[in-house]
């Protein structure tokens, strides 16, 4: 269980908080998609959840324990964090990068076991990038690196997964693949929190949504939180929420000066199928 209680954060030498008074709770198997415009604090909140940056006020707890009071090794066995960008330093192979995900489970000064290596192989296959195994991590594309980082998370086998824009740099097909993996991991009991710039991702892969604006947050089911009025206010453009196909919601931004029929309260197009 992950709980956030009255969380606030302010950068040094700034007067206004990035966010303030945020509270929510998630249990095993639940997934949350955090949305909001650039600079609203989505990444900062995620880093606070991971214990990488201390809150200015409030508490983040894992199973009732303040994350700042947990040792880094203990946290790493329970929680995995994938940043939005990862700049490689050494030319490790893709396989070795994924194998590093087993580090929290390997004893001090010990070497990975055959079981650890098998888990790394399995993780590469699960993402569909086993063909990259022997390539240097520094020589593959940004999108491929994102998939490698996701494979490393699978190898880590966390109970809580924090993803900062996991579909950034990915083509359309790989975006869908990653979102499908997020849904699968939640179904297997992993607690997932991800940030995104695409409201559709909440409809596709999350059971809960959080819409951040001006340091505050609306939290709840995507069907309630992601309505046309609030989305339009947060992003500063007119947005329609419709059913592109029966049962699948999507958000359509309108260019300035364009007009569009307003979706019905249940998110369907007027005269369309529910």
Q: Could you report the per-residue pLDDT of 116-151, keeping only the tens digit for each?
A: 999 999 999 988 899 999 999 999 988 888 889 889
- Residue 261: the pLDDT is 55
Tokens of 5: 């209680």
SS3 content of the chain, % helix, strand, coil (to 5): 35, 25, 40
Paired tokens of 243? 């059913």
Instruction: Please tell me the predicted confidence (pLDDT) of residue 270.
Output: 42
Per-residue model confidence as pLDDT tens digits over 108-117: 778 889 999 9
Q: What is the mean pLDDT of the chain?
A: 87
Does the pLDDT at position 34 exceed 60?
yes
pLDDT of residue 264: 47
At 259, is the pLDDT very low, low, confident or very high (cuts 50, 70, 90)?
low
Alpha-carbon distance 269 to 239, whole Å?
Answer: 13
The pLDDT, as a whole number, for residue 79 is 92
> Can you tell me the distance from the alpha carbon of 98 to that of 84, in angstroms, rounded to the nearest whole number?
17
Looking at 79-217, list the stretches that DSSP marks H as alpha helix, in order from N- to C-terminal side: 94-99, 114-127, 142-156, 172-187, 199-205
Q: How confident is the model at residue 271, as a pLDDT?
A: 38
Pairing of strands 191-195, 160-164: parallel
Q: What pLDDT is recorded for position 269?
A: 44
Q: Is pLDDT at 230 greater than 70 in this prediction?
A: yes
Distances (CA, A) of 245 to 178, 192, 263, 269: 21, 26, 13, 10
Distance, in Å, from the CA atom of 81 to the CA atom of 52, rounded to the nearest integer, reads 10
Instruction: Tell me how far apart the terminal alpha carbons of the chain are, to the nearest angstrom.
Output: 35
Q: Provide the CATH topology of domain 2-89+157-226.
A: Rossmann fold (3.40.50)
Cross-strand bridge partners of residue 32: 193, 208
Could you tell me if residue 122 is left (phi over 0), alpha (psi between -120 and 50 degrees) or otherwise beta?
Answer: alpha
Range from 151-160, 205-214, 262-271 carrying the lowest mean pLDDT: 262-271
Start and end residues for every CATH 3.40.50.300 domain found in the chain: 2-89+157-226
pLDDT at 266 > cutoff 70: no
Query: Each residue of 145-201: pLDDT tens digit?
Result: 888 988 998 999 999 999 999 888 888 888 888 898 899 889 999 999 999 999 999
The helix/strand/coil state of 181 is helix
Q: What pLDDT was estimated at residue 42? A: 93
């Amino acid at each position: 269980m992950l709980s956030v209680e009255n969380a606030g954060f302010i950068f040094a030498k700034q007067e206004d908080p990035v966010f303030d008074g945020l509270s929510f709770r998630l249990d095993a198997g639940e997934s949350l998609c955090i949305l909001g415009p650039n600079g609203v604090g989505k990444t900062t909140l995620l880093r606070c959840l991971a214990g990488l940056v201390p809150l200015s006020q409030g508490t983040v707890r894992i199973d009732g324990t303040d994350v700042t009071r947990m040792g880094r090794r203990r946290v790493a066995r329970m929680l995995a964090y994938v940043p939005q960008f990862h700049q490689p330093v050494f030319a490790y192979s893709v396989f070795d990068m994924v194998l590093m995900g087993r580090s929290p489970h390997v004893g001090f000064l010990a070497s990975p076991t055959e079981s650890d290596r098998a888990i790394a192989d399995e993780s590469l296959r699960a993402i569909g990038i086993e063909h990259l195994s022997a390539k240097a991590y520094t020589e593959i594309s940004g999108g491929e690196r994102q998939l490698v980082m996701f494979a490393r998370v699978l190898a880590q086998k966390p109970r809580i997964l924090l993803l900062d824009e996991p579909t950034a740099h990915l083509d359309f097909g790989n975006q869908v693949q990653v979102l499908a993996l997020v849904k699968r991991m939640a179904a297997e009991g992993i607690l997932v929190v991800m940030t995104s710039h695409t409201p559709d991702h909440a409809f596709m892969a999350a059971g809960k949504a959080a819409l951040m604006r001006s340091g505050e947050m609306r939290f709840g089911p995507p069907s309630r939180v992601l309505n046309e009025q609030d989305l339009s206010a947060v992003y500063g453009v007119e947005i329609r929420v419709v059913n592109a196909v029966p049962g699948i919601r999507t958000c359509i931004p309108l260019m300035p000066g364009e007009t569009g029929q307003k979706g019905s309260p249940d998110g369907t197009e007027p005269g369309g199928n529910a």
